[in-house]
Structure 1
């Protein structure tokens, strides 16, 4: 009797959805803006005209002058240099948060969705975390661990994990009832093989979209924490720290908040626009409605 071939992987229907996108003008502009922000922050050490930490009291609160295109802050530090260098750390915190939250949420969500015995315990823990406002939870975690980059990443990541877990769990609950998963179980495929080969591909599209929203949210949350004095050390330039230091001189020199705030707004808006475009591209139901 011929052996029944193992069912095809779930990767094929997912890849059939992922095509080269035909984005509208908005996402294209957002992609260009975001790429420009990433490039200038990565090259900040070469593009910044001055050391962002060097103080010059004789040059404090100056407007745009030669050598200081955006002027100086209340300590005589170059604003352009601080905005460029600060953006690099803000983006790094956002990217690290998105990667860790998606990775941990994927693992926990798959366990909750596939193993019924663990589902109730895991989801009640996730519900408890989601019941606490994310900003308050982040402030509490940073206060416990002290202001540092690692503490801020952990404080922003933990409130984001339950959202990823719920998303992955919902996808896995639906996918595990599919015929190809039931056939793989009947053929005696190992549990790790079933999870990696048949269930993980189903989560890729929603996780990509969710990852963009987490990235934007993490960058904004880091700025909020720094603005409230609960982020990274105040000596370290980030967009949030720059705005926090400039708020006392807002009436005298609004540029201290304008430039980092503009970069922050453009970055978050671009990421959200690209996330919406990715959602429209990767969700076949939206394609059917558009058709």
Structure 2
């Protein structure tokens, strides 16, 4: 299953990267004469309500959806790592920072994202910020828990006794302990961001409608689902396969980095 997930995800990512060179039609070209057409030799999975090639739009939409997912994962992990290290190591800052983090975590992700988009307006950067902000507190809590545990280790106490600076201790002794859990958390954030972007676009609070993304395609096709089910079926299937593949790879990375799982494999 992991190998299958890796192959499917690689196909989706490569198709999105090279989309301008592999799509058979211009994804923005309007052709009212062929609107809502079913699959045929010209339009492989049909057309949408404006006569645009659905296959070309789904492939091009992967660029936006994957960019949002990867971007949200990178930014949230980087910001959460910095704040989590400070909160876990500096005791007086922990009490202040974690109360703010708890307040953000009390608001559901999708509601906070909708509020941010409504306040700043729809757009790629706004959606990226709206998805990233709710994910940062979860990374902060993860890093903080790792740092609190590692801070009591003998090698950290020895470094403190030797007079090492706080910056050196965090960089050399605490940061390496956070790498493995952050890799796993990053995969989950990426999958969650892709789903949230699709939800926001479907609700009309995401990427500009003229920009193809998987959520936008489904949002535009919801009124014509009974005429051409493929308008929602195909982008929805790609979203599901992408998220499932990322989650399976995240589970595999977690098992590979967990010493207890490795020990079980040796015992067997």
Q: Using structure 2 for the length normalisation, give the TM-score.
A: 0.97
Distance 2:180 2:230 in 1: 40
Task: Give the structure 2 partner of residue 90 of structure 1.
Answer: 65
TM-superposed CA distance for 1:289, in Å, is 4.7
Task: Provide the rounded CA distance (Å) in 2 between the counterparts of 1:285 and 1:162.
Answer: 27
Distance in 2 of aligned mates of 1:29 and 1:179: 43
Partner of 1:34, secondary structure, is: helix
Out of 206, 215, 235, the residue aligned to residue 231 of structure 1 is: 206
How many Å apart are 1:248 and its aligned residue? 0.3
- 1 CA distance for matches of 2:173 and 2:260? 21
Looking at structure 1, the residues matched to 156 and 196 of structure 2 have their Cα atoms a distance apart, in angstroms, of 39
- Structure 1 match to 2:108: 133
Correspondence 1:184 to 2:156 = no
In structure 2, stretches of 5+ residues that fail to align are: none
Does 2:138 correspond to 1:163? yes
1:65 maps to: 40
Residues in 2 aligned to 1:167 and 1:286: alpha-carbon distance in whole angstroms:
20
Tell me the equivalent position of 2:29.
54
Residue in structure 2 matching 1:108, options 83, 91, 104 = 83
Query: How far does residue 66 in structure 1 lie from its aligned partner after superposition?
Result: 3.2
Which 10-residue stretch deviates more, 177-186 or 231-240? 177-186
- Any residues of structure 2 matched to 1:141-156 within 5 Å, and which? 141-156=116-131
For residues 105 and 113 of structure 1, the distance between their equivalents in structure 2, rounded to whole angstroms, comes to 12
Deviation at 1:239, TM superposition (A): 0.2
Q: What is the Cα deviation at residue 288 of structure 1?
A: 3.5
Q: How does 1:9-28 map to 2 (within 5 A)?
A: 26-28=1-3
For 2:93, the equivalent position in structure 1 comes to 118
How far apart are residue 95 of structure 1 and its match? 0.3
Residue ranges of structure 1 left out of the alignment (5+ in a row): 1-25
Question: In 1, Cα distance between the equivalents of 2:36 and 2:45?
Answer: 10
Distance 1:193 1:119 in 2: 19
Provide Cα deviations, 1:73-105, integer angstroms capped at 9, x if missing partner: 110000011000001110000000000000000
Q: Secondary structure at the match of 2:206?
A: coil
SS at match of 2:101: helix
Determine if the alignment matches structure 1 residue 74 to structure 2 residue 49.
Answer: yes
Alpha-carbon distance between aligned partners in 1 of 2:224 and 2:167, rounded to the nearest angstrom: 57
Q: Distance in 1 between matches of 2:23 and 2:54?
A: 10
Offset from partner CA, 1:252-285 (integer Å, 9 cap, x none):
1100001101110100000000001111111113
Please give the root-mean-square deviation of Cα atoms over the aligned residues, in Å. Answer: 0.9
Does structure 1 residue 265 correspond to structure 2 residue 246? no
Equivalent pairs, count: 266
Residue 67 of structure 1, CA deviation: 2.4
Structure 1: how far apart are the matches of 2:228 and 2:45?
11
Tell me the CA shift for residue 37 of structure 1.
0.5
Deviations 1:48-67 (A, max 9, x none): 11111110111111112332
TM-score (norm 1): 0.90
